[in-house]
């Protein structure tokens, strides 16, 4: 199941990456004679209310959604590993304080805060990096900033058990500095669960980005991410259901396959199998 999902996921990523080179319809090609047509040869996924080709928009939006997912995952893992390893190596109050911070972040209501931060900071970042880049940076930072906690907990737990192991003690006895112990010996051995958590994080970040766009607070209307296409289509459900179905299916399939791959990875990396 995991392998099949991996193939399907790879296929979708490939389609999104190279698809626009083969399907050369512009995403903002307005054609009022073909408004909200059902799928046909000219428009395999139909058109929206301005006659724009939905396939082209989905391919373009997929790039953004997947880029956001990967970037937010990288950010979450980076922060998580950093905080987790600092907490895991230091005993006493540093560890306590960092874990209190982690627990605090875990009990924050994430979506309202996400919306609040985007509302407050959107305009200044847009002015700084341009519309597209500004929103991208903001969304990646915010989604990544709210997903590091599980990773930090995992890394800390791993560090606690690994740093007492014989091979780390041997390294310490040979005079390895603390940073060398961490980077060469402890960190590589604690990455298994982190990879699994990272996979799941990509899916969660894609859902978070689509949710924001679906609420009309993510990317601006001229950048068609999957959530944004769904948001635009929801008022025309009765006349053009295909418009909502294709982006929804794209999100669903991506998230489902990523989750299956993560599950497969967990089974492969976890020697303690149930039954």
Binding site for another protein (CB under 8 A): 100, 103-104, 106-113, 115-117, 119-121, 123-124, 203, 207, 210-211, 214-217, 227, 230, 234, 237-238, 241, 244, 248, 251-252, 255-256, 259-260, 263, 274-275
The single residue listed with the structure tokens 């993560």 is 262
Residue 68 DSSP label: H
Concatenated DSSP letters of 192-209: HHHHHHHHHHHHHHHHHH
Looking at the Cβ atoms of 187 and 250, the one nearer to another protein is 250
| CB 101 to another protein: min, Å | 8
Residue 83 or 187: the one with the smaller Cβ distance to another protein is: 83
By residue count, the chain amounts to: 275
- CB of 104: closest distance to another protein in angstroms? 5
- Hey, what are 150's tokens? 């599980």
CB of 182 to another protein, least distance (A): 28
Task: Tell me whether residue 12 or residue 115 sits nearer to another protein (CB atom).
Answer: 115
Question: Do residues 256 and 190 touch, judged by C-beta distance below 8 A?
Answer: no
What's the CA gap between 16 and 251, in Å, rounded?
A: 13
Question: For another protein, which is the closer residue by CB, 20 or 248?
Answer: 248
E strand segments, 60-103: none
Calpha distance 266→259 (Å, rounded): 10
> C-beta of 125: minimal distance to another protein in Å?
9
In the complex, what is the shortest distance from the CB of residue 207 to another protein, in angstroms, rounded to a whole number?
Answer: 5
């Amino acid at each position: 199941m995991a392998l099949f999902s991996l193939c399907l996921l790879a296929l979708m990523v490939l389609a999104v990456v190279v698809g626009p080179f083969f399907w050369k319809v512009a995403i903002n090609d307005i054609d009022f004679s073909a408004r909200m047509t059902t799928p046909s040869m000219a428009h395999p996924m139909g058109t929206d209310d301005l006659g724009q080709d939905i396939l082209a928009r989905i391919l373009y939006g997929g790039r953004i959604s997947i880029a956001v997912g990967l970037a937010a995952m990288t950010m979450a893992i980076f922060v998580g590993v950093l905080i987790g390893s600092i907490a895991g190596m230091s005993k006493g109050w540093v560890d306590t304080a960092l874990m209190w911070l982690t627990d605090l972040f875990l009990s924050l209501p994430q979506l309202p805060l996400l919306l609040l931060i985007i509302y407050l900071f959107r305009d200044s970042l847009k002015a700084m990096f341009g519309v597209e880049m500004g929103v991208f940076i903001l969304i990646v930072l915010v989604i990544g900033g709210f997903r590091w906690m599980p990773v930090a907990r995992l890394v800390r737990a791993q560090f606690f058990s690994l740093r007492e192991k014989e091979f780390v003690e041997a390294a310490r006895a040979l005079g390895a500095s603390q940073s060398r112990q961490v980077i060469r010996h402890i960190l590589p051995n604690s990455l298994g669960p982190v990879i699994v958590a990272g996979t799941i994080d990509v899916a969660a970040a894609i859902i978070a980005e689509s949710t924001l766009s679906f609420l009309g607070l993510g990317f601006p209307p001229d950048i068609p991410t999957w959530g944004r296409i769904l948001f635009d289509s929801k008022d025309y459900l009765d006349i053009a259901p295909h418009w909502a179905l294709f982006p929804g299916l794209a999100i669903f399939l991506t998230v489902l396959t990523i989750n299956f791959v993560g599950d497969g990875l967990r089974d492969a990396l976890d020697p303690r199998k149930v039954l």
